[in-house]
Amino acid sequence: MHHHDPATDAVLDRGIAPDGAARAAGPARHVLLTGATGFLGAFLLRELLDRTDAHVWCLIRADGDHHAAARLREAMRRYLIWDDLSAERVTPVVGDLTAPSLGLTPARWAELAERIDAVQHAGAQVGHAAPYSALRAANVRGTQEIVRLACERRGKPLSFISTAAVPGDPADRAATPPPPGRPGGGYVTGKWVAERLVRQAGDRGLPVLIHRPGRISGHSVTGACQLDDGIWHFVRAITLLGLAPDVAASDGGPDVSFSPVDYVARAIVRMSAQDTGPAAPRYLVNHSRMPLSELIGHVAKRYAVSYVSQDTWLERLWEARHRHDGALLKAGVLVKYYRALLSGTGRPPTVNDGDSVRDLAGTGITCPPLDGALIGVYLDYFQSAGFLPVPTTTPIHAKGVHRESPVRSA
């Protein structure tokens, strides 16, 4: 495979710069959204429909307009946020982040360049094990094409969704790409490059804002969540094996943190790019963390589990990875990640989200705390979605009182 150098890729095409000043301030009337069939993207669409009057154009990979509309409807139904009324404010646009000009015809490109007055770029190809070269077309070249479209005819404010795993400041031209070989490293390197392309467009006069969310969890009220996050596959493995790893409940021990998707989407739509010159990336993280032992305890209140040593648990998971109709395959792939999680070495770095806190002050947009009630909402959703088994009996040795949760129909 042709070797691509991230540092070389991180230089924005010289010909890309805003053609004219952004349209007069005021709420955007036409927004281009990428990634609308993905987890965060679907909730960004819901947020744009609920809190703005904008018409939203959604770039979707599909065989045609009907297929694109069907993919969008299916994604939003899966996350319990579809409604037929708002469909008239959404136009699916068949396109492809990996193709030149986003796979659009010249006429469609010109129409969007003329009509769109803000861009939310949440679309990306995700792959925990994929190398940079495999994700480069969608996540790097695709971002450059989005930037090109945002600059055409006139500057359109661009919000770019990155990840808190990206190190450093995108304005630092001397920085070197993250070292390869880490889990998820290809994805993070692609986002590192894409951030720099967006930032250079900002330096050339395009209003841009980069968002760096941490781990994103399900909706805080409905629990609706994507089903491919390693943490929930860890929980699924505990319920299917009937075994939990013994984790010390000490301060400074392993812990987890995640932000509900409804909070992240509201914050991003509220903080979208302003015409005030390039700003520092905005981190979106949950200030509260939950000890891993506590998360496991909430699962043990609902499912009959026995505690075993961490090594035994990891061995049992590895041995059982091909059983349970494939439900443990993903967890089996993540054994190395779980070893780091259990030992507390896999902690994400602490980040400074002071800018986001200031931006959101007085808006009423706050991140829900991580507590047993939130975990209960998530476990309810995962059961109703068939991701977790329905508990057969109430465990006797549950720590604390077992609370019967109301069963919601899927």
Beta strands 255-256 and 30-34 are: unpaired
pLDDT (0 to 100) of residue 331: 96
Task: Please write the tens of the pLDDT for every residue from 39-59.
Answer: 999 999 999 999 999 999 999
- Quick one: which of 10, 11, 20, 15 has its CA closest to 205? 20
DSSP 8-class letter at 124: -
Task: Please write the tens of the pLDDT for every residue from 188-245.
Answer: 999 999 999 999 999 999 999 999 999 999 999 999 999 999 999 999 999 999 999 9
Instruction: Give the CA distances from residue 176 to residues 168, 180, 191, 309, 398, in Å, rounded to whole numbers and listed in that order.
Output: 9, 11, 13, 40, 50
The answer to whether 40 and 213 are in contact (CB under 8 A) is yes
- Quick one: which of 101, 95, 35 has its CA closest to 64? 95
Place of tokens 């924005």: 12
Q: Which tokens in the block code for residue 53? A: 């009057």
pLDDT (0 to 100) of residue 238: 98
Max CA distance (Å), the chain: 68
Task: Please write the tens of the pLDDT for every residue from 194-203.
Answer: 999 999 999 9
The answer to whether 289 and 257 are in contact (CB under 8 A) is yes
Torsion, Cα of 343, 348, 352, 355 (10° steps): -140
The answer to whether 46 and 78 are in contact (CB under 8 A) is no
How far is it, in rounded angstroms, from Cα 398 to Cα 2? 55
Sign of CA pseudo-dihedral 102, 106, 111, 117? positive
DSSP 8-class letter at 102: G
- With cut-offs at 50, 70 and 90, classify the pLDDT of residue 275: low
Q: Please state whether the predicted TM-score (pTM) of the whole model is above 0.85.
A: yes
- Distance of alpha carbon 147 from the chain centroid: 20
- With cut-offs at 50, 70 and 90, classify the pLDDT of residue 395: low
Question: What are the counts of helices (DSSP H) followed by strands (DSSP E) for the chain?
Answer: 15, 13
Per-residue pLDDT, averaged over 65-91, amounts to 95
